[in-house]
Structure 1
Amino acid sequence: MTRPKQFDPDVAVEQAMEVFWRKGYASTTPQDLVDALGIGKGSLYNAFGSKRALFERALRRYRERQASVLLRALEEPGPAKVRLRRALEAVVRTDLADPDRRGCMAVNTAAEVVRTDEVATDLVLRAFAHIESAFRAVVVEGQRAGEISPERDPDGLAAMLQNTVAGLRLAVRVAEGPERPARIIDAVIDSL
């Protein structure tokens, strides 16, 4: 007879995400995860296989949750430039509201393990591509509406906007307040 699980795996992934987000993959020990999840090492490994597998699930969860904030702002009605501004401002608001100023788990992961870890690289690149694709769609709408010059490369503008998100996430980690990020957003939207 098997024993029932003593924890909810979805909750555990959420808790693990918080630990990895705060400490990074390399600095998070299995003991950190055991302590945060309130389970034994055996249960951790039985449920998730490895620290690595749990990290991948946590990074996927983060990607889904964080992308939704930006995507909601892009999907709201209104002119393209207004929606793009709202999306960038939503990123800044979200990060400024975090008392620990952890920044973006995907950006942090990119800085920590990308190019030395194929799976993490793939997850981060897919997260960035998803956001970039959403930006591209709004840029194209703006071009059709005459807000953004049709001479501008929509792929290049979308890449610039995605890069701006990554830069804003880093800038907010050290910003005293919203003034500098607001200036960055103004400059980017004006450049469109």
Structure 2
Amino acid sequence: MGRPKEFDPEAAVEQAMRVFWRQGYAATTPQHLVDTLHIGKGSLYNAFGGKRQLFDLALRRYLDQQALAMKALTEDSSPVKERLRKALCFLTEIDASDPERRGCLATNSVVEFGCTDETVATLARGHFDRIESTLQALIDDGLRTGEIQPGRDTKALASMLLNTVTGIQVLTRIEPGPDRLLRAIDATIDLL
């Protein structure tokens, strides 16, 4: 009979998510995870399989949290452009207010891994597809209500918004404050 786990695996994944988000994958050693999560090295490997498997769990958790928060933000009855602005601010402003300047874990992971890791690419692509679909649905609502200029390609506009968001998420890593980022958001919303 094995010893019972002396830690909460869910809490450990949450903590690991913060570590990977702050440092990135390559800069995070298994020993750093063991020290930060206050677990033994054996527990790291027995519970999660290792650093890489824990990273995948942490990235999935981050993406799930982002999807839930984005859904909640966009499902109200306020004007469409206001909801779009809130969504863009959510996707970027939480990063701008972060003293650690973590940016977005999904975007950071894509930048770090590029196309060399299919798991990261697939997870991030799915995340960006969900964001783009959510933005397109909002833009479609704006066409119906007359808030968005008629005749616009809603898929192209959603892609533009996604591109703006990911660019801002990268800038967040070095930008000292939110002013430039908010100007970009406002200008993008005005283009609609």
2:156 maps to 1:156: yes
Give 4+ residue runs of structure 1 displaced > 6 Å after superposition: none
Report the Cα distance in structure 2 between the residues aligned to 1:128 and 1:92, rounded to whole angstroms. 14
2:146 maps to 1:146: yes
User: Corresponding residue for 1:127?
Assistant: 127
How far does residue 64 in structure 1 lie from its aligned partner after superposition? 1.5
User: Corresponding residue for 2:80?
Assistant: 80
What TM-score, normalized to structure 1? 0.94
Kept in 2, the 8 Å contact 1:101–1:173? The answer is yes
Listed one character per residue, the Cα deviations across residues 105-158 of structure 1 (whole Å, up to 9, x for unaligned) are 100001010310000110111111111111011011111111112311111111
2:45 maps to 1:45: yes
Stretch of structure 1 that moved more, 33-42 or 85-94: 85-94
User: Corresponding residue for 2:6?
Assistant: 6
Report the Cα distance in structure 2 between the residues aligned to 1:2 and 1:92, rounded to whole angstroms. 45
Report the Cα distance in structure 1 between the residues aligned to 2:105 and 2:16, rounded to whole angstroms. 12
User: Corresponding residue for 2:31?
Assistant: 31
Listed one character per residue, the Cα deviations across residues 2-49 of structure 1 (whole Å, up to 9, x for unaligned) are 211011110010111111111111221111111111111111111011
Report the Cα distance in structure 1 between the residues aligned to 2:65 and 2:7, rounded to whole angstroms. 22
Query: Pairwise CA RMSD of aligned residues?
Result: 1.3
Report the Cα distance in structure 2 between the residues aligned to 1:19 and 1:29, rounded to whole angstroms. 10
2:101 maps to 1:101: yes
User: Corresponding residue for 1:17?
Assistant: 17
User: Which consecutive residues of structure 2, in runs of 5 or more, have no partner in the other structure?
Assistant: none
How far does residue 173 in structure 1 lie from its aligned partner after superposition? 2.4
Report the Cα distance in structure 1 between the residues aligned to 2:126 and 2:191, rounded to whole angstroms. 26
How far does residue 172 in structure 1 lie from its aligned partner after superposition? 2.4
Report the Cα distance in structure 2 between the residues aligned to 1:130 and 1:152, rounded to whole angstroms. 20
Report the Cα distance in structure 1 between the residues aligned to 2:161 and 2:73, rounded to whole angstroms. 14
Kept in 2, the 8 Å contact 1:70–1:88? The answer is no
Q: Residue 94 of structure 2 aligns to which amino acid in structure 1?
A: T
User: Corresponding residue for 2:136?
Assistant: 136
Report the Cα distance in structure 2 between the residues aligned to 1:178 and 1:25, rounded to whole angstroms. 26
2:166 maps to 1:166: yes
Kept in 2, the 8 Å contact 1:92–1:178? The answer is no
Kept in 2, the 8 Å contact 1:71–1:87? The answer is no
Q: Residue 170 of structure 1 aligns to which amino acid in structure 2?
A: V
Kept in 1, the 8 Å contact 2:97–2:177? The answer is no
How far does residue 68 in structure 1 lie from its aligned partner after superposition? 3.0
